[in-house]
Structure 1
Amino acid sequence: MNTIASRPVDAVIAAAREFLGDRLSTAQAIREQHSRGEDQTPPTLPDAVAFVESTEEVSRLLALCHRHEVPVVAFGAGTSLEGHVNPVRRGISVDLSRMTAVLEVNAEDMDCLIEPGVTRQQLNDYLRDQGMFFPVDPGSVCTIGGMCATRASGTNAVRYGTIRENVLGLEVVLADGRVIQTGGRARKGANGYDLTRLFIGSEGTLGIITKVRLRLHGIPEAMSSAVCQFADLESAVNSVIVTMQSGIPVARIELIDADQMEACIRYSKLEGLRATPTLFLEFHGTPAAVQEQAEAVQAITADYGGDNFRWATDTETRTKLWQARHDAYWAGINLIPGYRGITTDVCVPISKLADAIVGAKQDAIAAGFTTCIVGHVGDGNFHQIILFDPNDPTALDRAWELDRRIVARGLSLGGTCSGEHGVGIGKREFLEAEHGVEALAVMRGIKASLDPKGILNPGKLFRN
């Protein structure tokens, strides 16, 4: 008897090949590409990778997996940082990166309908000639379906909101292959449970998103960017707190600490800047409004010792500046050659931001780690890349322990363990402390109701 051929997953693979053909791959190299994201969790090879191209294919595949109780993990660009796409129980990795159609653009109502494999960059290239853009900018090349699954945020969230506020509706394939529509084109509604928000941030544990209806925004008449540098981290953070408390509608306000700035100067070849705590700012609106906002922020930063306030109004300079910010993760993990990094994702009330960031940096120094801090500080969110030597057998465990201390500090200040990266594997241990036993039981109940066989992205969100 051939026991390998009798595995449930082999039955799924054989049946799926009938409608996917060579887009159902068991090749070693393809499976390795789908074994992990950009995180430090140990990789796990899926049994096969399905490159789907339509809702119908996703539905047929999930119905098969449900029937045979085979795990399914949705895969977009593979840029997640918390182990979301790691198929910890093997099974089928469903790659949605070929579903890249922009299906509708309704310019009058400023919304669009897209497939989940479209990236933010692709969508904005498509929309540019129509005077609109999609503002949610996590700072990496990730798919919008993946952004929905992880409740992504980014540099523009302080003005335009997160992905949650910019999704009007979804098409979702449930665990058993059923297809449902949530939300719609209306900007508000008061009818039934808000299923759209249920699936936003569910990390592929409740269903697989196959279409997304997005809210769009008009390209601002004027944009201006600036860089301001400080002598110390606390002064930079305090200037952000006062800016936000003053109600100035900045579009982006990003913090980079001294170590991260050194990394960015090297990696992105930035000239004329020092390796000191730095704010990257951007203002959107009419020319007069942009000037008024910028002057107000410049006065606040001056009160906290901010100097070297450099303007970037032309497109080329602004693009280079923000590309350096977007490349900060890669710059950070390359600061010390041969080192690797794990990334924290803490968000706290704006008034507690200085306590959280300065305390996190002090914790890292005390633990003997070099760390790079970048933050969407306008909404209280920051990331700390903890660099560790992979040749030191104790380094990764000590780095994770530092991560726990940073998260614990954030929770004690009324914050959250994850502002935008999601839970995945990396943050599971913090959910009970943050939400409580009863709330976690409700979450488990929702999971059991929509996915009774537990096939959708198992091992994520919950520890067991």
Structure 2
Amino acid sequence: MSLPDHVQDELASAFGARFSVKAADLSHYAGSETFHRARLPDAVIWPETTAEVSFILSLCNANRIPVIGWGTGTSLEGHALAIHGGITLDLSRMAAILEVRPEDMLAVVQPGVTREALNADLRATGLFFPVDPGANASLGGMASTRASGTTAVRYGTMRDNVLALEAVLADGRIIRAGSRAAKSSAGYDLTALLVGSEGTLAIITELVLRLQGQPEDVAAAVCAFDTLEHAVDCVTATIQSGIPMARIEFVDAETARAFNHYAGTTLPEKPHLLVEFHGSGESVRGDAARFGEIAGEFGGLGFDWASTAEERARLWKMRHGAYPACLSLRPGATALVTDICVPMSELAGAVTAARDDIREAGLLGPILGHVGDGNFHATILLDPENAEELAAAKRVATRMAERAIAVGGTISGEHGIGLGKRDLMALQHGEAGGVMAAIKRALDPNGIMNPGKLIPG
């Protein structure tokens, strides 16, 4: 579609240089971090206030024009692509930290604030925001996809850390959901409904976030294992032992090779666990010692402890750079990234089966993940022009998803559904998918909110 002339004129008058239909501006919003691609949106707007978002949605709803929210563009499932045209709302200018209340351990932010910017602002308070997906994503985007990351095993996901929010519905109504209280039993949990809705129900314009105290002491280490099975079994045993891990990450031998190739590290090309402990000095030392004993039982080799803050930062920078590192194994490649999550008792079998499927398909797909909560990813490398490779990768990803569902798991632990997993929603949810579609119709009867994502149809 293209914008009606009267709509374009009204938006150009209202927003001036913050409204654009120039191809050079729109091209930024037609691609994603992975293989997903789409047409250009018809226009992009950079709103600065909730009132402006409300105005845009009211106008677009009256004219049945699609509206797609955009944070930093780091999503992996094509969430923010304008597959039906329409208007992209780039929320990056709504980037104010509105309030920090150390006594209540919360912060109030606009959606364009990134997690790194918030934590930089919090340094003097002794608090931090713990959800860490790796990319310097916007907090609005993280809420919209219900993101998590390396620290979820201890601090939870965005679901656990968004106390309240402000959002604009399709017809322009502004609502508030949740509260600043520690708990509430007052009506439907609209906060939980909108967190993870991927912009298909509303545009989030403000967030009240739960903060955590910065730990007294931190210790981190890397440990190699001879086999994938031993590394994953060590994770399961560690979690079952009750050791309060802050992070416990798995990378396979191919990912270790990618780190060495991309970042110049010298890791043995074996499976590894990357771990971190938070707490008092005494508790951190005790937890680390207990983990070392468990790792030794599974053949853990060569603990490399990061004893300073700078060394820990390098360790986690390496882990957060896993995606470009994996891409470097095949120059010019793009990727399909899987995201299944299974109960801990099923983790070893799921990871092993995924590895075998990738090999049998003749694909290169390093495996890594936040295995402390049963979530792992395969980064299946693809020639962007090779349709047969993409089809093969999709078949492998579907088998992984089917296995996850069969053991009580999920098709997405943190990346969300977007375009990439939309066709698997019926497999996971059955009749509940119809309930989700009914909610979508109730809140967005004209279907303007990020159409074609999350909900099939």
TM-score range (shorter-chain normalised) is over 0.9
The letter for the 2-side match of 1:248 is I
How far the C-alpha of 1:141 sits from its partner, in A, is 1.6
Distance 1:405 1:127, change over 3 A: same
State the distance in 1 between where 2:57 and 2:37 align: 26
Q: 2:420 corresponds to which residue? A: 426
Equivalent of residue 189 in structure 1, options 170, 181, 184: 184
The letter for the 2-side match of 1:260 is T
State the distance in 1 between where 2:178 and 2:96 align: 20
**Partner secondary structure for residue 371 of structure 1:** coil
Q: 1:98 corresponds to which residue? A: 93
How far the C-alpha of 1:300 sits from its partner, in A, is 0.4
Equivalent of residue 349 in structure 1, options 329, 339, 343: 343
State the distance in 2 between where 1:91 and 1:389 align: 29
Q: 1:457 corresponds to which residue? A: 450
1:382-422: CA deviation from partner (whole Å, max 9, x where unpaired): 01000123354411111111111221222222210000000
Equivalent of residue 124 in structure 1, options 99, 119, 128: 119
Aligned pairs (5 A) from 1:298-447: 298-436=292-430, 438-447=431-440
How far the C-alpha of 1:27 sits from its partner, in A, is 1.1
1:204 aligns with 2:189: no
Equivalent of residue 38 in structure 1, options 30, 33, 36: 33
Contact 2:152 2:247 in 1 (8 A): yes
How far the C-alpha of 1:380 sits from its partner, in A, is 0.2
State the distance in 1 between where 2:340 and 2:294 align: 25
Q: 2:219 corresponds to which residue? A: 224
1:189-221: CA deviation from partner (whole Å, max 9, x where unpaired): 110110100000000000000000000001000
Q: 1:286 corresponds to which residue? A: 280
State the distance in 2 between where 1:450 and 1:392 align: 39
State the distance in 2 between where 1:428 and 1:11 align: 34
How far the C-alpha of 1:336 sits from its partner, in A, is 1.6
The letter for the 1-side match of 2:58 is A
Q: 2:60 corresponds to which residue? A: 65
Distance 1:222 1:169, change over 3 A: same
How far the C-alpha of 1:110 sits from its partner, in A, is 0.6
Contact 1:170 1:211 in 2 (8 A): yes
Contact 2:261 2:328 in 1 (8 A): no
State the distance in 2 between where 1:11 and 1:202 align: 31
State the distance in 2 between where 1:336 and 1:173 align: 42
State the distance in 1 between where 2:5 and 2:175 align: 28
Q: 2:148 corresponds to which residue? A: 153
Stretch of structure 1 that moved more, 160-169 or 39-48: 39-48
User: What percent of counterpart residues are identical?
Assistant: 49
State the distance in 1 between where 2:294 and 2:193 align: 40
1:306-330: CA deviation from partner (whole Å, max 9, x where unpaired): 1111111201111000000000011
Contact 2:3 2:86 in 1 (8 A): no
Q: 1:74 corresponds to which residue? A: 69
State the distance in 2 between where 1:14 and 1:94 align: 17
Aligned pairs (5 A) from 1:159-170: 159-170=154-165
Contact 2:47 2:89 in 1 (8 A): yes
**Partner secondary structure for residue 366 of structure 2:** strand
State the distance in 1 between where 2:191 and 2:387 align: 44
State the distance in 2 between where 1:389 and 1:34 align: 22
State the distance in 2 between where 1:449 and 1:392 align: 40
The letter for the 1-side match of 2:234 is S
The letter for the 2-side match of 1:358 is T
Contact 2:132 2:148 in 1 (8 A): yes
Distance 1:126 1:171, change over 3 A: same
State the distance in 1 between where 2:65 and 2:79 align: 17
The letter for the 2-side match of 1:133 is F
Contact 2:411 2:424 in 1 (8 A): yes
Distance 1:8 1:127, change over 3 A: same
How far the C-alpha of 1:44 sits from its partner, in A, is 1.6
State the distance in 2 between where 1:392 and 1:452 align: 38
How far the C-alpha of 1:8 sits from its partner, in A, is 5.0
Q: Which runs of 5+ in 1 are unaligned?
A: none
State the distance in 2 between where 1:236 and 1:176 align: 51
Contact 2:436 2:455 in 1 (8 A): no
How far the C-alpha of 1:451 sits from its partner, in A, is 0.5
**Partner secondary structure for residue 304 of structure 2:** strand
The alignment's C-alpha RMSD in Å is 1.1
Contact 2:61 2:171 in 1 (8 A): yes
Aligned pairs (5 A) from 1:227-266: 227-266=222-261
Contact 1:9 1:47 in 2 (8 A): no
Stretch of structure 1 that moved more, 30-39 or 119-128: 30-39
Equivalent of residue 44 in structure 2, options 39, 43, 49: 49
1:114 aligns with 2:112: no
**Partner secondary structure for residue 459 of structure 1:** coil
Corresponding residue pairs, total: 457
**Partner secondary structure for residue 186 of structure 2:** coil
Q: TM-score normalised to the size of structure 2?
A: 0.98
Q: TM-score normalised to the size of structure 1?
A: 0.97
